[in-house]
Amino acid sequence: MLIEKIEALKAQLNDLHASNEEMLEELRIKYLSKKGEITALFNDFRTVAPEQKRELGQRLNELKTLATEKISALRETFKAAAKEKNKIDITRPSLPGYLGTRHPISVVRKQIIDIFSRLGFVLADGPEVEDDWHVFSALNFAADHPARDMQDTFFIEKNDEDVTRNIVLRSHTSSVQVRTMDHQQPPIRIICPGRVYRNEAITARAHCFFHQIEGLYIDKNVTFADLRQVLLYFAQQLFGPDTKIRLRPSYFPFTEPSAEMDVSCMLCGGKGCSFCKNTGWVEILGCGMVDPAVLEASGIDSSVYTGYAFGLGVERITNLKYMVKDLRMFSENDVRFLDEFTAAH
């Protein structure tokens, strides 16, 4: 009879489990306390015949050991879980994680790209470290053009005897247009966003690096009227449907005729204010018809194809849209400034 009770308790102990420490304590009391079931079996052991005491005593000791080990193992499991739960991860930040936002330059850059993408322009890219040919010579810059001077361009390798061998940080993304024309015959319709570098003093109105987006369209029978219509669409999409534009004659080595484009002031609606210096207009980009010499330099027949090009500074557009007066704010990573653009995208 005692053997059957021992085997029954052993089966229970082999399947022992508890979901929390309170339940585990109840099991300890049930089996191992002074009034527990195993203690009761030891009391029954006193009435066992002498010839059975050796075997039954051994079985009872094994049963008590099993119960003790099972309960101890479960207790250690709960302790380990509690320790892990309360463990301090010293690698975690002391403050809640900060969710950032897109930089205002990135926001405006994407807006501009999206507008021209709707007109069929595709993205083109090129290196920031360039040679003289792609930055200057292929774009019709004379060998003594002021843009080649040290005060305007960052030179990596400078050869005064042969300027065509100079290696520079690109001063405009027009170099991407040259690379595209070198490897692709018209029709070409691209926009070239990217960072450019100029050797200028850093002030509230100028920086030694900034971002440009330039566009190029070459095909048969492309006219200045096509250029004007594209730029009008761009301005109205970016600044609003009531925006007006005007084109003023200008000069660039790589376009002829060339023009500067102004938009009607978005603050005063063209009536005149301090922002537009009481003119009602704000300059935003340069443009013009691609000079035939530039087409020929890239192996494109200027008697068959014509084209236009334009270029604008992303910082300039961002200034106009968000009234940022200091260009340095765009690159100083001041979180207070960047937080102002949380909802911009």
CATH number for the domain spanning 138: value is: 3.30.930.10
Does residue 98 fall inside a structural domain? Answer: no
216 near 189, Cβ under 8 Å?
Answer: yes
122 shares its domain with 55? no
247 shares its domain with 276? yes
303 shares its domain with 234? yes
Residue 69's pLDDT is what? 85
Residue 263's pLDDT is what? 92
In sequence order, what DSSP letters do the residues of 304-344 get, joined into one string? T-EEEEEEEEHHHHHHHHH----GGGGTS--HHHHGGGTT-
21 shares its domain with 138? no
Does residue 223 fall inside a structural domain? Answer: yes
Task: List the chain residues with pLDDT less than 70.
Answer: 1, 45, 96-98, 148, 150-151, 343-345
Residue 192's pLDDT is what? 96
Q: Which positions ≥6 away from 140 have C-beta within 8 Å?
A: 253, 254, 291, 293, 294, 297
65 shares its domain with 128? no
- Can you give the pTM of this predicted structure? 0.69
* Host domain of residue 9: 2-85
50 shares its domain with 183? no
- Cα(244)–Cα(233) distance, rounded to whole angstroms? 10
Residue 343's pLDDT is what? 61
Residue 150's pLDDT is what? 59
130 shares its domain with 189? yes
- Cα(336)–Cα(193) distance, rounded to whole angstroms? 27
Show the tokens assigned to 273.
């204010």
What are the b/e assignments for 6-25, b being 16+ CB within 10 Å? beebeeebeeeebeeeeebe
User: Total structural domains in the chain?
Assistant: 2
34 shares its domain with 156? no
- Which helix (DSSP H) or strand (DSSP E) does residue 216 occupy? strand 209-219
- Which helix (DSSP H) or strand (DSSP E) does residue 291 occupy? none
Show the tokens assigned to 148.
């080649």
Q: Which positions ≥6 away from 301 have C-beta within 8 Å?
A: 295
Does residue 304 fall inside a structural domain? Answer: yes
116 shares its domain with 253? yes
Does residue 231 fall inside a structural domain? Answer: yes
Summarize pLDDT for 87-111 with one digit per residue, the tens: 777 777 777 666 777 889 999 999 9
217 shares its domain with 301? yes
Does residue 100 fall inside a structural domain? Answer: no
Summarize pLDDT for 142-152 with one digit per residue, the tens: 777 777 675 68
333 shares its domain with 226? yes
In sequence order, what DSSP letters do the residues of 35-102 get, joined into one string? TSHHHHHHHHGGGS-HHHHHHHHHHHHHHHHHHHHHHHHHHHHHHHHHHHHT---TTS-SSPPPP---
197 shares its domain with 73? no
Amino acid at 285: L
Residue 305's pLDDT is what? 97
Does residue 219 fall inside a structural domain? Answer: yes
Place of tokens 């980009």: 285
156 near 167, Cβ under 8 Å?
Answer: yes
Does residue 9 fall inside a structural domain? Answer: yes
Does residue 153 fall inside a structural domain? Answer: yes
